[in-house]
Structure formats: structure tokens, C-alpha cells
């Protein structure tokens, strides 16, 4: 009976803590610039802070650096996105020619560039410069929306992360203890490095924006 | 339109970054791979784990270069791995520097301790050195000792296991495992009293000894799945009572099956298993699944004294719900066919977390768990068919600490069943507790685990 009571207490206490974490993960609000270009709504923003000093230095190491940017447009007060865009940007330093080669994938297709300076490479990886976020027709006039952005630096796929920790659950040849090895859970003590899902992740949200109704044409 | 967006979002959420890029960046020839920091681990162990080798011609954006770090980390021998490229001796050639930070590779797999009505104390540990002499080979073993009470026929019990394993021979898909085991058992069985009675006079004990070897070859079908083909041979010596009987509450007597041949006998078997584990984080899982199955055939044709087959399987699957929670369905079970020896039958502690599990094959406590559904399953120790189905809810308490990576609280409940020949063989199983993932290991503190260590 006592431990049934303990179960109940745990179940009651736990959601409160989860709510606290939700608040911690809430995206920061940043000012962004929105405009209409042709049929599209576009955004101008900067995600440079996803690179810390070490990540910036790593751009020179010769390995590819990858930035994945996901963007959702929500109506204010709604949890359902009306539009989604996925951008993937890669940069690799050519050790021999000493140039940065960039590959930018987005809704408009693939663009490749070469730049001489690291700062330029960083800008191309992290700047949103009138990038489309939605079809203008999907955003009704005079209604308020927000743009949510999640950017990851060098994300690691789930399969790769599973591979890194695979050895934790592989049996090691014994067999006497079926209860532990086959049916049971495991508890182990060892030095236990862990791979994060990405080198860095930032989540930001724009200020609310809306499409002003065009002025009526003058007769 | 909104549905389309939701589908796109889900798709993009599941599909992480595209790891393509084999056609991106300058063409490079790997002239040399230099290793640094591996004072104990042989170079060949690290080089065999790499997806690239000297002489390969690749693009700088090739995902094999990016994942090389993780392949080395996946060996489980290093705390950190860092890679750098530098110019080689001529244009287009590169040298890869790999700096590793070695870590202790001793793993404490299990710790057994507790007290029960039939064993005043038991204690043991199971330890592996996963990188023996830096060769990438694992050597380990475990031992457990359990003291005896004044139960008729009881004496101290002990068991030990030594093993050697290499999960990837020279970096190939093949692995090998072998173990040598010794068990001196003195197993209590109930002769009187209610199913949850703990009086010493309610039990007698039978003794048997096991000495055996297991060998197995593994083949990795993919980075996350493998098949295991094994063989086992054991010599068993059992000192059995002439006609063990149990007196029921109404004064009648029923025979107690001991499931061992008196005197000397042999267990010889062959087995095949399959294991696939897609969980990105097996310590604190929120997504992915783990499936494991095993079929073992023991036969007099192979030279054994027991003709039997065991089929065991488990399937665990997690789904993330909300931002911090997950729901899991955990199924496990099996059947034993034929004349299996006692220790190869399904034991209540294998499938009911509220029953003390076996310690290196030793039964150190009677099953005195309460009959929660009153179905007559109380006290059942062994069966030929059994399993459990549990739904578990977990919630992240924290993530991202430097030394304590994360902790989850969990609550689970479901049904377990074991065909012990009495009543409707089904009852409730409940558990709750805390899982913690730290840089010194993984720990699970649960109510069921605690219940298995104290007399009830």
C-alpha cells in the first residue's frame, strides 16, 4: 500500500517539473525583418551565435561544417504551423587552395559558392537574407503570425548516436544470468562518454508580424 | 494544406540532416593517418574501426570523414576523439590526425546483494575489462556467494563465470564470445506452508553443480543489428531427494518437480539469436526500439541428457510524447518445450520485476510476492511458458549536465504470466523509479528492485 502511495506521489509530482523544463526550452524572441517578394513571404535574420569560438576555428580544419535550419510559421495563439522550410548549409575548407567551399540547399534548390575569407563563410552559413518562409497566399491579410526557427550545428543522425552507444547493450558472452541479460534491465558502472544530438542548437522566435492589406488602387 | 505542412514537419523532424556530401568539396587522397594519445590501445584497433584508410580518394565533404570520429568513439574505449586534417607531401594529399583521450575500460556490469528468507545474505559482482591489454578484446567475469540458513539440506551457494569476447574481429563484422561457468547451487523448494510463508521449516533444499562452456560467433548484419550463433556444453551433478513432496493447506501432498536428472548428466545445445537496437540513447530511451530473440535446442543427439527447446523474445518500443515525456511498450516472453533442465526453464524473477531475479543462475530467494489479482500465481517459481507486457511512462527530470547527463523518472505497470500449472497464470506487475545516466555509469533505482533485495 505504501509503495502504491509512493507511485501516486511520483506521478503527481513529475508533471510539475516537466512544465518547468518546458519553460527553460522556450525560444528566445528576436526581432526579424519580413517582406513580400513576388509570391513569397521572406525573412531577414542572423543566426551567427550558433557558432562559438571553437566552432568558428573548426571552419579551418578541413572537415565539413553543417548548419541545418528549420523554420515554422505559426498563427499567433495556434500550435499548428501553416508553413515549414528546411535549409541545409555546408562549408568545407580547401586546405590546398585555401578557399571555403559552400553548398546551400533550400526550397529554391542548390547553390554552391567559394569565398576567400572565413568571416564570409560564416555569414553565408548563418544569415537569412530574404529567404522565403511561406507563400504569401497562405498568410491572410491583417492576421498575426510568428516565425519559429531551430538551427543545429553539425547535427548527428539518430543512427550514428545509436551506433556510438551500441556497445552499452551488447551482451558479452555470458549466459548464466538470463534474468539480467535477456529479460531484465541493465545497470552498469563505467566511464561513459555521450554524444550530443548536435554541436549546438538554438531556438528563436520572431516578434509577431502581419501582412498589411494593400492600399486600394487610386482611380 | 495544414495537413501537408504537418506531414512535412514530421518528415523533417524524423529525417535528421542529410548526411550526403560524398560529391562535395575538393578531392583528397589520404596519405597518412597519425594517431595520438592511444597509450594503451593498439593502433590497429583504432584504424580497423575507421571507415576510411590510407590511399582512399575522397571528397572533403564525404560523410565518412565526419562519421570517423563517431566510429572510433563507438569502440567504447575513449572519452573523446578529435580529428584534424592537414596538408600532405604534395597537392591534393592530406594527413589525418586523430587524437584520442583514453578512459578506464573496466565496466561494473552488475552488483548482486540482498537478504531473503532462504538466504540470509548474498553478494557478488560482474566486471569486464573491455580493452584487455589495449588489444580491443574484452575479458571479464562475475562471482556471487550466498549464505545458507538452517533449511534442511541447504548449504552455501556460489557461482562464477569467466569470459572473453571481441565484438569486431580486426574491425570486421564478425565477433566471438566464449565463457566458462561454474555453479554450486543449493536451491530451496517449498514443502509446506502458504505460498508466501517464510518459515524455514516450509522449505527443503536440493543441491546440484554445473560446469560448462559457451561459445558464440556474432555477425553484424548492420551497425545496429547482429545475429548470434552459439553452442553450450555443461556437466551437471545433482543430489536429489528421493521423492520430494509438498503438503498443501488441506493436508494433501503433491510431488515437487525438480527438473534435473539425478547423478551426472549433460546439457548440450546449439542456439541462434537476433538482436536489433535502434535507440539513439539506450540509457534514457525516448524513441526507437530494441528487439532480441533467441532459439536454443538441446538434444541427446548432440550428446546431452536433456531434449528441449527454448524460444525467448523481447521487444521494447518508445514513443516521445510532449517535449519531455515518453511512453514505452515492453514485451518479453518465451516458451520451453520438452525436458529442459531446471535452470533453463522460465523463472518468475525473469519476467516479474517484483520477484528477486537469479544471481548468476542461483536462486537466492523464494517467490513470496503478493497475488495482486488473486489468480493463484503466488509462489510459482518456474514455468514452461511465460512473459510480461508492460506499459511504461517516463518523464525527463533533467538533461545536459556535464557529469550527470540526465535523469528520468518512470512508472510502469502491466501483466505477467507464468504457466506453473496452478490457476489462471496471470497477475499484475508494477514498478516505478529513477534512471540516471552519468559519466561513471547508468543507474536504475526502482521500487521493484528494492523489493527484490529484502525479505517479505
- Which of the listed residues B78, B102, B126 is the one where a domain comes to its end? B102
Q: Are A160 and B17 in contact (CB under 8 A)?
A: no
| B389 and B357 in a common domain | yes
B355, B369 Cβ separation under 8 angstroms: yes
Q: Does B442 touch chain A (CB under 8 A)?
A: yes
3-state SS assignment for residue A181: helix
Residues B195 and B141 in one domain: yes
pLDDT at B311 over 80: yes
Task: Using the predicted structure, report yes or no on whether residue B15 has a pLDDT greater than 70.
Answer: no
The cell for A47 is 543566426
Q: In the structure grid, which three cell numbers stand for residue A151, read together?
A: 538551427
Verify that B51 and B144 share a domain, yes or no: no
Three-state secondary structure call for residue B171: helix
Q: Which of A157, A154, A150 lies closest to A86, judged by CA?
A: A150
Q: Is any Cβ of chain A less than 8 angstroms from the Cβ of B36?
A: no
Residues B78 and B153 occupy one common structural domain: no
Domain boundary among B54, B70, B102: B102
Q: Are residues B112 and B38 in the same domain?
A: no
* Residue B333 in domain: yes
CATH of the domain at B24: 3.10.20.310
> Do residue B85 and residue B119 come from a single domain?
no
Q: Which of B275, B357, B442 sits opposite A184 (nearest CB)?
A: B357
Whole-angstrom distance, CA of residue B103 vs CA of residue A50: 30
Number of domains in chain B: 2
- Under an 8 A CB cutoff, do B161 and A176 touch? yes
The reply to whether B298 falls in a domain is yes
| pLDDT tens-digit series, residues B151-177 | 999 999 999 999 999 988 887 889 999
Query: Between B422 and B74, whose confidence is greater?
Result: B74
Identify the domain containing residue B155 by its residue range.
Answer: 106-451
Q: In chain B, which among 395-434 make CB contacts under 8 A with chain A? A: 395-398, 405, 409, 411, 430, 432
How far, in Å, are A73, A191, B59, B436 from residue A168 at the CA level? 40, 11, 33, 14
Residues B93 and B178 in one domain: no
Beta strands, E only, B72-194: 78-87, 93-102, 106-114, 122-132, 137-146, 157-166, 174-190
Residue closest to B81 by CA, chosen among B103, B64, B62:
B103
Instruction: Say yes or no: B125 and B37 in one domain.
Output: no
B 306-335 → A contacts, CB under 8 A: 312, 314, 322-325, 332
Residue B23 touches partner A, C-beta closer than 8 Å: no
Q: State the SS3 of B249-291.
A: CCCCEEECCCCCCCEEEEEEEEEEEEEEECCCCCCCCCCEEEE
Instruction: Give the residue-averaged pLDDT of A202-219.
Output: 86
Contact in structure between B341 and B267 (CB atoms under 8 Å): yes
Question: Which CATH number goes with the domain that contains B409?
Answer: 2.40.160.50
Longest Cα pair distance anywhere in chain A, in angstroms?
A: 91
pLDDT digits (tens, 9 = 90+) for B237-296: 999 998 899 998 888 999 999 999 999 999 999 999 999 988 888 888 899 999 999 999
Look at residue A153 and give its three-state secondary structure.
Answer: strand
Rg of chain A taking only CA atoms, in angstroms: 24
Chain A environment of B227 (Cβ under 8 Å): none
The answer, for B19 touching chain A at a CB cutoff of 8 Å, is yes
Chain center to CA of A218: 46
Q: What average pLDDT does the segment A17-37 reach?
A: 68
End of a domain among B51, B85, B102? Answer: B102
Tell me the mean pLDDT in the region B315-323.
92
pLDDT at B440 over 50: yes
Question: Is residue A196 within 8 Å of B306, Cβ to Cβ?
Answer: no
- The pLDDT of residue B76 is 83
**Does a structural domain hold residue B211?**
yes
Residue B331: enclosing H or E segment and its boundaries? strand B325-338
pLDDT tens readout for residues B385-403: 999 999 999 999 988 777 7
In this structure, the answer to whether residues B53 and B133 fall within a common structural domain is no
Over residues B337-343, the mean pLDDT reads 95
Of A62, A191, A195, the CB nearest to B439: A191
Q: Which of B10, B23, B61, B163 to mutate to test the interface with A (most CBs of A within 10 A)?
A: B61
N residues, chain A? 219
Domain annotation covers residue B6: no
φ/ψ of B353, rounded to 5, equals -65, -15
Amino acid at each position: 500500500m505504501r509503495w502504491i502511495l509512493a507511485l501516486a506521489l511520483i506521478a503527481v509530482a513529475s508533471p510539475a517539473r516537466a512544465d518547468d523544463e518546458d519553460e527553460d526550452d522556450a525560444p528566445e524572441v528576436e526581432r526579424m525583418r519580413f517582406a513580400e517578394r513576388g509570391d513569397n513571404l521572406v525573412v531577414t535574420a542572423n543566426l551567427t551565435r550558433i557558432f562559438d569560438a571553437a566552432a568558428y576555428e573548426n571552419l579551418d580544419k578541413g572537415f565539413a561544417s553543417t548548419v541545418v535550419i528549420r523554420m515554422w510559421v505559426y498563427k499567433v495563439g495556434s500550435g499548428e504551423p501553416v508553413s515549414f522550410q528546411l535549409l541545409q548549409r555546408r562549408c568545407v575548407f580547401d586546405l590546398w587552395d585555401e578557399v571555403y567551399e559552400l553548398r546551400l540547399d533550400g526550397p529554391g534548390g542548390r547553390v554552391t559558392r567559394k569565398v576567400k575569407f572565413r568571416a564570409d563563410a560564416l555569414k553565408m552559413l548563418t544569415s537569412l537574407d530574404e529567404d522565403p518562409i511561406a507563400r504569401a497566399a497562405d498568410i491572410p491579410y491583417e492576421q498575426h503570425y510568428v516565425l519559429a526557427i531551430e538551427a543545429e550545428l553539425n547535427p548527428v543522425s539518430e543512427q550514428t548516436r545509436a551506433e556510438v552507444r551500441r556497445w552499452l547493450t551488447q551482451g558479452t558472452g555470458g549466459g548464466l544470468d538470463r534474468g539480467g541479460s535477456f529479460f531484465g534491465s541493465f545497470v552498469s558502472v563505467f566511464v561513459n562518454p555521450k554524444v550530443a544530438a548536435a554541436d549546438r542548437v538554438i531556438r528563436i522566435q520572431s516578434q509577431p508580424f502581419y501582412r498589411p492589406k494593400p492600399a486600394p488602387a487610386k482611380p | 494544406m495544414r495537413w501537408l505542412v504537418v506531414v512535412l514537419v514530421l518528415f523533417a523532424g524524423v529525417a535528421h540532416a542529410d548526411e550526403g556530401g560524398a560529391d562535395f568539396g575538393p578531392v583528397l587522397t589520404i596519405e597518412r593517418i597519425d594517431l595520438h594519445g592511444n597509450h594503451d590501445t593498439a593502433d590497429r584497433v583504432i584504424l580497423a574501426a575507421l571507415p576510411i584508410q590510407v590511399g582512399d580518394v575522397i571528397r572533403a565533404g564525404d560523410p565518412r570523414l565526419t562519421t570517423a570520429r563517431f566510429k572510433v568513439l563507438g569502440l567504447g574505449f575513449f572519452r573523446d576523439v578529435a580529428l584534424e586534417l592537414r596538408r600532405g607531401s604534395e597537392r591534393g594529399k592530406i594527413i589525418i590526425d586523430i587524437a584520442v583521450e583514453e578512459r578506464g575500460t573496466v565496466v561494473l556490469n552488475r552488483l548482486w546483494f540482498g537478504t531473503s528468507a532462504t538466504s540470509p545474505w548474498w553478494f557478488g559482482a560482474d566486471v569486464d575489462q573491455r580493452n584487455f591489454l589495449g588489444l580491443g578484446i574484452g575479458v571479464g567475469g562475475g562471482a556471487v556467494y550466498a549464505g545458507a540458513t538452517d533449511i534442511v539440506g541447504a548449504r552455501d551457494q556460489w557461482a562464477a563465470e569467466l569470459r572473453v569476447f571481441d565484438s569486431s574481429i580486426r574491425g570486421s563484422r564478425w565477433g566471438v564470445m566464449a565463457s566458462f561457468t561454474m555453479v554450486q547451487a543449493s536451491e530451496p523448494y517449498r514443502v509446506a506452508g502458504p505460498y508466501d510463508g517464510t518459515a524455514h521449516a516450509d522449505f527443503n533444499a536440493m543441491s546440484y553443480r554445473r560446469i560448462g562452456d559457451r561459445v558464440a560467433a556474432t555477425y553484424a548484419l548492420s551497425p545496429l543489428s547482429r545475429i548470434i550463433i552459439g553452442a553450450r556444453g555443461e556437466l551437471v551433478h545433482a543430489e536429489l531427494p528421493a521423492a520430494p513432496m509438498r503438503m498443501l493447506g488441506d493436508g494433501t501432498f503433491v510431488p515437487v518437480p525438480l527438473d534435473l536428472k539425478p547423478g551426472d548428466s549433460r546439457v548440450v545445445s546449439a542456439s541462434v539469436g537476433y538482436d536489433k537496437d535502434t535507440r539513439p540513447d539506450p540509457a534514457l530511451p525516448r524513441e526507437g526500439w530494441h528487439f532480441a530473440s533467441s532459439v536454443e535446442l538441446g538434444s541427446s543427439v548432440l550428446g546431452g541428457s536433456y531434449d528441449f527447446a527454448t524460444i525467448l523474445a523481447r521487444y521494447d518500443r518508445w514513443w516521445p510524447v510532449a517535449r519531455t515525456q515518453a511512453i514505452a511498450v515492453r514485451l518479453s516472453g518465451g516458451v520451453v518445450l520438452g525436458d529442459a533442465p531446471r535452470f533453463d526453464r522460465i523463472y518468475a524473477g525473469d519476467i516479474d520485476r517484483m520477484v528477486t531475479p537469479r544471481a548468476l543462475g542461483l536462486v537466492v530467494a523464494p517467490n513470496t510476492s503478493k497475488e495482486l489479482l488473486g489468480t493463484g500465481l503466488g509462489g510459482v517459481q518456474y514455468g514452461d511458458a511465460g512473459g510480461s507486457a508492460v506499459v511504461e511512462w517516463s518523464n525527463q527530470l533533467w538533461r545536459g549536465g556535464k557529469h550527470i547527463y540526465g535523469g528520468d523518472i518512470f512508472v510502469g505497470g502491466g501483466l505477467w504470466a507464468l504457466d506453473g500449472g496452478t490457476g489462471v497464470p496471470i497477475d499484475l506487475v508494477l514498478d516505478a523509479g529513477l534512471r540516471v545516466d552519468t559519466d561513471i555509469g547508468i543507474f536504475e533505482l526502482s521500487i521493484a528492485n528494492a523489493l527484490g533485495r529484502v525479505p517479505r
